[in-house]
């Protein structure tokens, strides 16, 4: 397994991560995947859990941006309802659009963290752009066919990362 598939850290889900953790590791911008990271793919409006999370993150002074591979309409609608910025068609695992986003926003890769539930898209894109990635477990087993396909590769890699302790749980990182 190449190091491009190994995240910076693991988390059960995005909601358990203490906002203070991001500042402690020098992060000002938290870039998040949408589907199965913030909410399942069949959800069009942010759920209460996600709204509470966003409020806490904003109170901690963190910038949040949704970076999705998905098409515009749903992502824009969801992001608007959540009150955060978003970018669509991110082409993860390709790091190009992420690098472009960082450049445009004048963010150094070290100032950002990417949170996502897929090794084959989120982890690879983040590592390719030099951004630390926190890999979460997918929120819901119900997934679209293209994600199901990615899971064929995701599952054994994830297992190996955990068994060999190739990435720590975020709680184990003491900045």
Q: Which residues bind Mg ion (CB under 5 A)?
A: 33, 35-36, 117
> For Mg ion, which is the closer residue by CB, 38 or 167?
38
Q: Is 144 left (phi over 0), alpha (psi -120 to 50) or beta?
A: beta
Helices within 15-167 (DSSP H only)? 19-24, 48-59, 72-82, 96-104, 124-129, 145-163
Smallest distance from Mg ion to CB 118, Å:
5
> For Mg ion, which is the closer residue by CB, 83 or 144?
144
| Of residues 72, 67, 55, 77, the one with CA closest to residue 31 | 67
Smallest distance from Mg ion to CB 109, Å:
21
Smallest distance from Mg ion to CB 116, Å:
6
Report d(CA 140, CA 147) in Å as an integer: 12
| Of residues 66, 153, 150, the one with CA closest to residue 116 | 66
> For Mg ion, which is the closer residue by CB, 33 or 154?
33
Q: Name the closest residue to Mg ion (Cβ).
A: 35
> For Mg ion, which is the closer residue by CB, 102 or 117?
117
Smallest distance from Mg ion to CB 46, Å:
15
Cβ(154)–Cβ(118) under 8 Å?
yes
């Amino acid at each position: 397994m190449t190091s491009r598939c190994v995240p910076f850290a693991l988390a059960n889900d995005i909601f358990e991560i203490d906002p203070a953790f991001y500042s402690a590791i020098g992060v000002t911008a938290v870039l998040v995947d949408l589907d199965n990271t913030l909410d399942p793919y069949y959800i069009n409006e942010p759920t209460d859990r996600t709204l509470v999370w966003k409020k806490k993150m904003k109170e901690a002074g963190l910038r949040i941006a949704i970076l999705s591979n998905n098409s515009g309409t749903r992502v824009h609608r969801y992001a608007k309802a959540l009150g955060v910025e978003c970018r669509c068609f991110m082409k993860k695992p390709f790091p190009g659009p992420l690098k472009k986003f960082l450049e445009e926003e004048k963010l150094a890769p070290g100032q950002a963290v990417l949170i996502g539930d897929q090794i084959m898209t989120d982890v690879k894109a983040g590592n390719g752009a030099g951004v630390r990635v926190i890999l979460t477990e997918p929120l819901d087993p119900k997934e679209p066919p293209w994600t199901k396909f990615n899971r064929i590769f995701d599952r054994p890699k994830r297992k190996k990362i955990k068994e060999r302790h190739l990435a720590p749980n975020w709680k184990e990182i003491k900045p």
